[in-house]
Amino acid sequence: MTSPRTYPLPAVELAGLVDDYLYGCQPVADCGVCTALAAELTGAREAKDHGTAYDAVAEIRNHPHPVKRKP
Ligand SMILES: [Zn+2]
């Protein structure tokens, strides 16, 4: 009798195929909040903490910066 697997397979990692889509963002260089979030993102990605990494990216993308008007 065969024994069917009753547990999930390990997570599949798509070798960078979706990384730009999920984690692509442009933190503003002179913004303290963006800088802190970028550091959090780097640390979370190194720790493979994908939920925290995505939260940091979403905050960077949504962080408001006033548009400088030309005089
Ligand atoms: Zn910012």
The tens-digit pLDDT sequence of the chain (71 residues) is 688 888 888 877 777 777 888 888 899 989 999 999 999 999 999 999 989 999 999 999 999 988 777 77
- Span from the CA of 34 to the centroid of ligand 1 (angstroms): 4
**For the purposes of burial, counting CB atoms within 10 Å of the CB of 9, is it exposed (0-12), middle (13-18) or buried (19 or more)?**
exposed
- Span from the CA of 3 to the centroid of ligand 1 (angstroms): 53
- Span from the CA of 2 to the centroid of ligand 1 (angstroms): 56
Alpha helices in the chain (DSSP H): 19-23, 32-46, 50-62
Q: Who surrounds ion ligand 1 at CB < 5 A?
A: 28, 31, 33-34, 63
- Span from the CA of 35 to the centroid of ligand 1 (angstroms): 7
Assign 34 to helix, strand or coil.
helix
pTM score, whole prediction: 0.68
Could you give the CA distance from residue 5 to residue 18 in angstroms, rounded to a whole number?
28
Per-domain residue ranges of the chain: 26-62
